Amino acid sequence: MINKQNVTKIQRVNPTNIPSPVGKYSHITKIPKNADIFVASGQVGVDRNNNIPESINDQVENTFKNIADLLASQELSADNVIKVNIWATEEIDWDYLDGKWDSLFGTEYPSMTIAYISALGLPELKIEIELWAAK
C-alpha cells in the first residue's frame, strides 16, 4: 500500500532557457511518483437543469462551476490539476475567463493548451474544458 503522506507535491516549472508563458499556465507540470492520475471528460457550459446558455461567458461560468463540482466529487482541488485543454468555437473573452481561472487556480497554474475549432459535440456549445489531475 502506498503511504500518501510520502507523495511529493505537484511541481510547476517555467524553465528559464525558453520564452515565458504567453498566458496563465506553466510550461511543465511534474507529477509525483506514485500519484493517482484523474482524467476528466471535457466540461461544458450546461447548467444543473441541462440548459446551455447562448453567450460564451455564461457557458464559461457554468463550465467553471462544473469543474469545481467535478473536482470536489473526487476530493481534489485546483492544486491537483496538472493539465487543462480548452477548446472554443468563438473568440474567448479573456478578461472574463481569466477572472474565473484566477478564482480557481490563484497563481499556481497548470499546464494548458487552447485551440479555436469549428465545432464541439453539440452545435450550441461554445467552450469545452478538459482536466487532468493527480493526487
Would you say the pTM of this structure is higher than 0.95?
Answer: no
Q: How far apart are the first and last CA of the chain?
A: 15
What is the band of 104 on the pLDDT scale with cuts at 50, 70, 90? very high
Report pLDDT digits (tens) over 17-48: 999 999 999 999 999 899 999 999 999 999 99
Q: How far is it, in rounded angstroms, from Cα 131 to Cα 43? A: 8
What CATH number does the domain located at 36-134 have?
3.30.1330.40
pLDDT of residue 70: 96
- pLDDT tens digits, 105-121: 999 899 999 999 999 99
Confidence at residue 8, expressed as pLDDT on a 0 to 100 scale? 64
Q: Where are the domains of the chain?
A: 36-134
Burial class (CB in 10 A: 0-12, 13-18, 19+), 41: exposed
Query: What is the reported pLDDT for 3?
Result: 42
77 by Cβ neighbours in 10 Å (0-12 / 13-18 / 19+) ranks as middle
The answer to whether the beta carbons of residues 37 and 133 sit under 8 Å apart is: yes
